[in-house]
Amino acid sequence: MSFEPMNWNGNRCGRTVVAASLLASVALLLPVHASAMGKKKKEQDLSANPLSGVNSKQPDKELYDKAMLAIKKGRFDQARLDLQTLLNTYPDSEYQMRAKLAVGDSWFKEGGTAALAQAEAEYEDFITFFPQTPEAAEAQMKVGDIYYMQMEKPDRDFTNAQNAEREYRAMINQFPDSPLVPKAKQKLREVQEVLAEREFLIGQYYESRQNWAGALARLQTVADTYPLFSGSDQLWILIGDSYAGEAQQVRASAALPAAVRERLNQVYMDKAAAAYDHVITHYPLAQHVEDARDRLIAMNRPIPEPTQEEIASDDAEERSRQPMRFTDKTLGVLKHGPTVVEAAHVGEPTLDSPQRIIAPDITRENQQIFEQAFKAEQPGAAAAAPTETAKSAAPAAAGQGTEQPATAPLEFEKVPQGNGGTGIGAAIVNAPNGDASDVTGATSPPRSTPETDPNAVVKPVTSTTTSLPAAEAPTEAPSQVNDIKPGQVPAQPVTTATNSKKKKKAPKADLSAESSSKKKKKKGLSKLNPF
């Protein structure tokens, strides 16, 4: 059996059938494709919700994205305009809260005193409107950062440092569960390092001027408020030196009784030794530990030994600090703010400051110490007598003020008023004419010599009349005799012949050789002749 090839007409008909079949298949598939396209378009419309992704085409989302891009490129005015449009046009938008916070961020990133003040106002408004949101903690953190960026060096204005400390403490206390709390605590440690250094420098100055009350007030405030201060070891050394200075001033006060001086010296030296012990036990790895040991040895006091826990705690604190390098010192001179590289990175910063110690508090404490010392020496009813003396002597021994005397004046003891005595420890001396009249003019009977009180501070003054010995008495001057009787004219002196002659006049000096302005002036060509 054999097959013959198809002719042209048969092939053409076959091709037509195949093409028709293909067109029918495409027509059947078109509804399915249309339904699929419609389904895809429906899903794309559902993605218009701003919470479904970043490809949202909602106008509030587009405004927010546009503002964020403008802030990133530094166009802060345009960013704030878009954000304000979003806030005013779409009050129910999901981006309302983030847009409010972004307004403050635009001012914060712009920088400058005026811009930072505006940023602070925006952040505070955000905290007022959204107090329970996680972004409120971020806004509070930014307020602290505003003051942190404007801090001065420790020897300059400390207002911004105080404000930064207040804001960071508020952030930690109000939002303890925020993930920004560790960062806020570290910023707080650095701010407190600056404030502690400032108080320390002032206390060091007072200590160098021997103003013990002022020095102790500043130094004790730092010790109580900022225990993480990098110079705490030197701080406690100065506290001990201030107490030792008070003890030395008490020993040099001759106005105090010996027993009182000894008791006061013991009290102040015990306080100084306690300060040196604190350095050894709490900062065993610090730089000034050997200084504290040397002072205790000089005082014949025992040297304490720190425990292993105290050594480990101080070691962890010292390791967390960064050493001050040469580049840090150089940049510290050039830059505006303080250098805080030595701030600790471990330990809890102080969140509630105790009451500040001032110099009058130290003065009152010294007065109490003096009163107790006097009462210990004079128990019972006699203890109340030296109270005023103790109050006046305490500030002087503590070195308070330049207008107060160096030693306290003691009270004068009264002299018994006998036979017309004055009662102030002195008797009135009679006038030279022998009248025993007082200042009022009334006469009083002759006074007998009062009995001498051996305990009186001022001895009574009595009237004693003594005559000079004959050898020391001056000789009497001879009486003056007037030889001229009344009505007699004194004789004129006799004129001698030599006096009657006229004196010869001295010859006049020849002044022709000397130059004079009275000479005849030269005229004409004679002016050119110098001779």
Tokens for 193, please give them: 């390092």
Q: Is residue 348 part of a domain?
A: no
Q: Is residue 255 part of a domain?
A: yes
Q: Is residue 284 part of a domain?
A: yes
56 or 443, which is more confident: 56
Q: Is residue 289 part of a domain?
A: yes
Contact 410, 255 (CB under 8 A): yes
Residue 429 to residue 406: CA distance in whole angstroms: 33
In sequence order, the 6+-apart residues with CB closer than 8 A to the CB of 60 are 50, 86, 89, 90, 93, 94, 95
Helix (H) or strand (E) holding 241: helix 232-251
Contact 427, 450 (CB under 8 A): yes
CA angle 141, 142, 146 (to 5 degrees): 120
pLDDT value for 473: 52
Residue 462 has pLDDT above 60, yes or no: no
pLDDT value for 72: 92
Of the ranges 13-17, 74-78, 192-196, 350-354, which one carries the lowest mean pLDDT score?
A: 13-17
Q: Give Cα 336 to chain centroid, integer Å.
A: 18
Q: Is residue 59 part of a domain?
A: no
Task: Give the 3-state DSSP-derived string for 48-109, with helices as H, strands as E and coil as C.
Answer: CCCCCCCCCCCHHHHHHHHHHHHHHCCCHHHHHHHHHHHHHHCCCCCCHHHHHHHHHHHHHH
Q: Is residue 402 part of a domain?
A: yes
Question: Which domain range does residue 371 map to?
Answer: 210-319+357-409
Residue 509 has pLDDT above 70, yes or no: no
Query: In degrees rounded to 5, what are phi and psi of residue 257?
Result: -60, 155
Distances (CA, A) of 459 to 412, 425, 430, 524: 11, 6, 17, 102
Nearest to 198 by CA among 338, 99, 293, 73: 338
Residue 188 has pLDDT above 70, yes or no: yes
Contact 40, 32 (CB under 8 A): no
In sequence order, the 6+-apart residues with CB closer than 8 A to the CB of 143 are 120, 123, 124, 167, 171
Q: Is residue 380 part of a domain?
A: yes
Residue 501 has pLDDT above 70, yes or no: no
405 or 502, which is more confident: 502
256 or 521, which is more confident: 256
Q: Is residue 530 part of a domain?
A: no
pLDDT value for 330: 79
Would you give the DSSP letter of residue 382? G
The 10s digit of each residue's pLDDT in 145-177 is 999 999 999 999 999 999 999 999 999 999 999
For helices 134-149 and 113-129, the axis angle rounded to 10 degrees is 160
Residue 417 has pLDDT above 50, yes or no: no
Residues 363-374 have a mean pLDDT of: 91
Band of the pLDDT at 437, cuts 50, 70, 90? Answer: very low
Q: Give the DSSP per-residue string, 248-313.
A: HHHHT-TTS-HHHHHHHHHHHHHHHHHHHHHHHHH-TTSTTHHHHHHHHHHTT-PPP---HHHHHH
Single-letter amino acid, residue 2: S
Query: Dihedral of the CA atoms 225, 231, 236, 237 (nearest 10)?
Result: -160
Residue 165 to residue 147: CA distance in whole angstroms: 9
The 10s digit of each residue's pLDDT in 345-367 is 999 999 988 888 999 999 999 99
Residue 440 has pLDDT above 50, yes or no: no
Region of 411 please: left (phi>0), alpha (psi -120 to 50) or beta.
beta
Single-letter amino acid, residue 76: F
Contact 120, 146 (CB under 8 A): yes
Q: How many domains does the chain have?
A: 1
Handedness of CA 126, 130, 135, 139 (dihedral sign): positive
Helix (H) or strand (E) holding 367: helix 359-377
Tokens for 297, please give them: 């040895």
Residue 364 to residue 370: CA distance in whole angstroms: 10
pLDDT value for 478: 59
Nearest to 456 by CA among 409, 407, 411: 411
Band of the pLDDT at 31, cuts 50, 70, 90? Answer: very low
Helix (H) or strand (E) holding 200: helix 181-208
